[in-house]
Chains A and B, each alone.
Chain A
Amino acid sequence: MELLIKNGFVYDPINGVNGEKMDVAVRDGKIVGRVDETRAKKIDASGMIVMPGGVDIHCHIAGSEVNTGRLLRPEDHFKDFERKTSKTRSGVGRSIPSTFTTGYRYARMGYTTIMNPSMPPLEAKHTHEELNDTPMVDKATYPLLGDWWFVLEYLKEGKIEECARYVAWMMTTTKGYAIKIVNPGGLEAWGSGRNVNSIDDQVPYFGITPREIVRGLCKVNKLLNLPHTIHVHTNNLGKPGNYVTALDTMKCVEDLASDNKPAIHITHCQFCAFKGSDWRTLRSGAEEIAKYVNNHSHVTLDMGQVIFTDTTTMTADGPFQYTLYELSGNKWVNHDVETETTSGIVPFRYRRKSYANAIQWSIGLELALLVRDPWKIFMTTDHPNGGPFTSYPRIIAWLMSKKARDATLKRINPRARNRSLLPSIDRELTFYELAIMTRAGQAKALGLKDKGHLGIGADADIAIYNINPETTDPSRKYKTLRKAFKQASYTIKRGETVVKNGEILKHVEGATMWLDMLVSDPIKITDEIKRRFKEYWTVEYENYPVTEDYVEVSHPISVEADV
């Protein structure tokens, strides 16, 4: 199967291609130097933008938490449903679309790789079942390890290598991709109705601090040579004044970074960039965070942009979700996952006229625009916490057009408007920078070698958008821009055209990527471990691992560890 995409304006930041008019050749699902022009299928992309397929570093799309959210919110689905067609299956939307619809909607926007960021190891099977049912995109999932008792016990005793062996075992056992840390220590404390308020608070019973957990797992991450850094949701998330905690978390691994490589990814940073002492005095801490990130190279961020809409918040951060329930008075779910983590779900509506919500909206964009290097900050909404992923085109418009920002600024809470830094920021992203923030940077941060670029040998995941960068000025014509990115003209997955003008042409299964850890001295499943399973968990050890045949389209990535 050969394919030739002709005359498009190609944006491929990893290979330094900035809007050059060139052809992209594909053979057998990979990008190649050239193909036989007479035999190859041709796509005329003249006047269009060609980019690598989009990569989303953080979106809650599968697992028990997401599914409970779906069950909790029938009213979220009933106005937004898709009928089945001859190619696609039926499904429902909005803030928490059903699995198939999630895949189709991502593909329609030109996204081809997405990462599910929070999987309690105990629910790994459920998560993989749902990932199997998410078509059109390649995906991976991060197990939550920051509050796992085994990790806490070994870190308390200072046995980093032992801890690394267990983390490696867990990564392969749950078919995970990266270490996810949520409110380190806080979730364990929540099990006894408490929380931690700074990175130096003690975790009850274990007697270690969030700082030690983050540093410990950062060292583990390095020992194991994992492709991504630790993926951290900070302590005190969603509390005014928490930008200090976020900065402390970044600072605490400063010395662990080497060769200018990132050592920590602070996720949905908007939610941890609040300044002020309470909700009434809430201010943006984006300036401080951006200043730190601009001066250091060991941190990457993602935005966690808030959209003014009705959405469903869901995180593993049980105590934060409880606070959110108390704030909103909405229906809620809060759950303790045995020895591993907690979780919570609360439907929430971000309102333009609410001071706090308008400030949050502003913080996300300020972060994205004040961090100078687009390789350090990525575009997300923390789907569905800040808003559904289907609103990405709106964020693109805000990032690329001051006019679009001003149009929204006019309609938000006036007090928040006066305090927003956005009127003073003139920066407008170029298509090149946008390609970094939405695909290249994310793929690089995730260590995905074959994704996010169009170099020879890369996976032929390509998105083509119908907007001409020579004739259309995105800063003035932001509505055209929004429309173009809402509906990709073509989405090409592994060399096959799967979407054309927003219509799914073909249902393809995406692969599930997971890390096959090669450890020189792997842990042995002794009777002692089985005893602990019996004692701590409600499941037996035998039922715990996700075997490879459980993953329908399995794409293991071998990683050689230093332990």
Chain B
Amino acid sequence: MINLYSLREFRFPILAECISPDLFQGKNRKEIEELKIWEGNKQKSLSELFKVEENRKEQQQDETIITIHGDVSKLGRIGVHMTSGEIAIQGDAGMHLGEEMEGGKITVRGNVGGWAGSMMKGGTIEIHGSAGHYLGAPYRGSGKGMRGGRIIVYGNVGNDAGAYMKKGLVKIYGNVGQFAGLRMRNGTIYVEKNCEGRVGACMTRGKIVVGGFLKSVLPTFTIESIKKKVKIEENEIVKGPLYLFLGDLTENGKGKLYVSKDKNPQLRNYESLL
């Protein structure tokens, strides 16, 4: 168990690739303090920004747990490429949290910036606040979306959540912006509350479940049936009734879009097509 306490309020963006259980593994406090970190255009050592406190009393040699205290919303790229262990962030976190992570767990008590869980392959990210745009989506221009793992957000999420997703699960218990599941190829996205629109644009496979209000479904989706319930994952079932749409036809897609029937009376005219 390693605690990091921020020594001051950060003004400049910080690239915190070094904060990762894989890199902390097997290092003593001094070695951790000497890890290099970029603040703005200056390279510094971790100890100049954080007080490092080691607590190895508990027998947790094989799993490194890092807890970050203080506001680290300027810290980008925390836990990139991590394969095991755990990071707990007590406040907000910055962009690119857990990019390309392969395993382990990241928990954030506050909000996170954009590209959280971008291109991730495994592991879990749990965000108790809200997340920015491009949740689990690849970097701009790239088609390499999420390939596994789970992202759970208890707050709201911006646009392009789960874009280009190939495998994995994104659960959002708040509202979501536009273009959720853009060009998704497989995997599951669940939104408990409302969606701003254009859900599943250009999707070819996979499953998107909208439990709240969705003003309109893209015209390139066709209604298939009304389902009583839909399974999100083991032990989690959303009860309906839900409209099931298939699309996106512009891409000859067979993606499944479930939209709550009760919350969306404006979609009732689709029923005449059944």
Interface residues of A (CB under 8 A from B): 72-76, 78, 330-331
Q: A313: shortest Cβ distance to chain B, in Å?
A: 16
Considering the chains assembled together, what is the distance between the CA atoms of A32 and B140 in angstroms?
53
A-B contact count (CB 8 A): 16
CB distance from B205 to the nearest CB of A (A): 15
Check B141 for interface membership: any CB of A closer than 8 A: yes
Q: Is B60 an interface residue (CB 8 A)?
A: no
Question: Taking CB as reference atom, which chain B residue is nearest A76?
Answer: B141
Q: How far is the CB of B43 from chain A (nearest CB, A)?
A: 9
Chain A residues with Cβ below 8 Å from B142 are 74-75
B138 within 8 A of A: yes
Alpha-carbon gap, A433 to B144, bound state (A): 42
The one of A75, A76, A330 in contact with B138, judged by C-beta atoms closer than 8 angstroms, is: A75
Nearest-Cβ distance from residue A309 to partner chain B, whole angstroms = 15
CA distance A73 to B141 in the complex (A): 6
Residue in B139, B140, B141 with the greatest tally of chain A CB atoms within 10 Å: B141
Can you pick out 16 interface pairs between chain A and chain B where the beta carbons lie within 8 Å of each other?
Answer: A72-B141, A73-B141, A74-B139, A74-B140, A74-B141, A74-B142, A75-B138, A75-B139, A75-B140, A75-B141, A75-B142, A75-B144, A76-B141, A78-B139, A330-B143, A331-B141
How many residues belonging to B are interface residues under a CB distance threshold of 8 Å?
7
B140 proximity list for chain A (CB < 8 A)? 74-75
Query: A residues within 8 A CB of B139?
Result: 74-75, 78
Residues in B whose Cβ lies below 8 Å from that of A72: 141
The CA of A74 and the CA of B143, in the complex, are separated in Å by 11
**Cα of A331 to Cα of B138 in the assembled complex, Å:** 15
A336 to B11, CA, bound (A): 48
Q: How far is the CA of A72 from the CA of B140 in the complex (A)?
A: 10
Chain B positions 134-165 with a Cβ under 8 Å from a chain A Cβ: 138-144
Q: Give, as a whole number of angstroms, the nearest-CB distance from A330 to chain B.
A: 8
CB distance from A196 to the nearest CB of B (A): 32
Q: Which residue of B lies closest to A74 (CB)?
A: B141
A residues in contact with B138, CB < 8 Å = 75
4 A-B pairs with least C-beta separation:
A75-B142, A74-B141, A75-B141, A74-B140
- Of residues 105 through 147 on chain B, the ones whose CB sits less than 8 Å from some CB of chain A are 138-144
Residues of B within 8 A of A78 (CB): 139
Identify the closest chain B residue to A83 (Cβ): B41
Residues of B within 8 A of A75 (CB): 138-142, 144
- For residue B146, give the distance in angstroms from its CB to the closest CB of chain A: 15
Give complex CA distance A75, B100 in Å. Answer: 14
Residues in B whose Cβ lies below 8 Å from that of A331: 141
A324 to chain B: closest CB distance in Å? 16
- Give complex CA distance A331, B144 in Å: 13
